[in-house]
Amino acid sequence: MNIFVPVTITGPKGRSETVDFILDSGSNCTTIDSSVMLELALIPYRISRNLTAAGTAIRSTTQIAHFCSLSQCTENLEVLVDDLSLYTNGYGRRVAGLLAMDFLKEYILVIDFPNSKIGLLPADTELKYFAKSKMVSMISDKNLALVEAVLPNGKIIRLIFDTGYDSLADALLYESASGEMSFVQTGNSEIKDQNGSYAARFGTIQSLKIGEILLAPASVQLSKQVSAESSSLEYAGMIGIFPFRDRMIALDYPNLKLLVSIQSQPSSKE
């Protein structure tokens, strides 16, 4: 369920390379693989703290003179440098980076799942196709986008909207923040990311409601992990793109709105 996007990186000496990144709105800072830094002779910049859906980690950074993806560009972008071989080995293809919220937050991210299309639009773009759609308000915290969700036990929680969450589940929930629910377990799983791995239980709950969208029943992973252990960001898990896999969605980051098409396939006239 991960989305790969092409990214063109230009180093300090004018050399450019186009490589594949994973779209990762669950991280507040874009990351490149250490091999890209070597290939483009990028210079170490400083040590920085990175906040992701799995917690925080300290990484070295570098600056990219010219950074472009999905027809949008920025200058002098400071990015994290990390060993992304875990992703490369897991997907059987090179993962050169993770495209995160420091780049995405200025735009409207549109993903057309039925037609396998994706784009970044300027903040003032009129979204005519989404005139009739379901809407979810988003919350901006520490440069991440979160949504409020209602559990079947009535508890209201916050979930990070994480396009990098690649499970075939509607959401990942932390047990300590979710409380008692009628959870029906169907299996066990393991979640891996840059910060390590942790166990989870896979199954279903009666419902999960986010804004105008009701998932009933909802497939979830339950984990004993604690929300952002080393940061002040409080949340109860994450929601990925799996619930919207047959829809067209728009993540309007400047206006903090998630729009989801009502019909599963846009008509040929639109």
Q: What is the pLDDT of residues 221-231, one digit of tens each?
A: 998 876 544 45
pLDDT (0 to 100) of residue 231: 52
Instruction: Look over the chain and give the mean of its residue pLDDT values, rounded to a whole number.
Output: 88
N-term to C-term CA, the chain = 26
- % the chain with pLDDT above 90: 67
Q: Does 65 score more than 60 pLDDT?
A: yes
Indicate the helix (H) or strand (E) that contains 90: helix 85-91
The conformational region for residue 179 under phi > 0 = left, psi -120 to 50 = alpha, else beta, is: left
Residue 211 in tokens? 């804004």
Q: What CATH superfamily is the domain 4-106?
A: Acid Proteases (2.40.70.10)
Task: Note whether 142 and 132 are within 8 A (CB).
Answer: no
- Cα-based angle 170, 176, 177 (whole degrees, multiple of 5): 60
Binning pLDDT at 50, 70 and 90, where does residue 21 land? very high
Q: Does 55 score more than 80 pLDDT?
A: no
Please indicate whether the domains covering 4-106 and 109-261 agree at the CATH topology level: yes
Q: Does 209 score more than 80 pLDDT?
A: yes
Unique residue bearing structure tokens 């969208």:
213
Binning pLDDT at 50, 70 and 90, where does residue 145 land? very high
pLDDT (0 to 100) of residue 255: 95
Task: Note whether 53 and 27 are within 8 A (CB).
Answer: yes
Task: Report domain extents, the chain.
Answer: 4-106, 109-261
What pTM was computed for the model? Answer: 0.89
Q: Please tell me the distance from the alpha carbon of residue 140 to that of residue 146, in angstroms, as a whole number.
A: 6
Q: Does 232 score more than 60 pLDDT?
A: no
Residue 156 in tokens? 């209201």
Contacts of 208 (CB under 8 A, 6+ apart): 149, 150, 151, 152, 170, 171, 214, 215, 216, 218, 220
Task: Note whether 161 and 138 are within 8 A (CB).
Answer: yes
Indicate the helix (H) or strand (E) that contains 187: strand 184-193
Q: What CATH superfamily is the domain 109-261?
A: Acid Proteases (2.40.70.10)
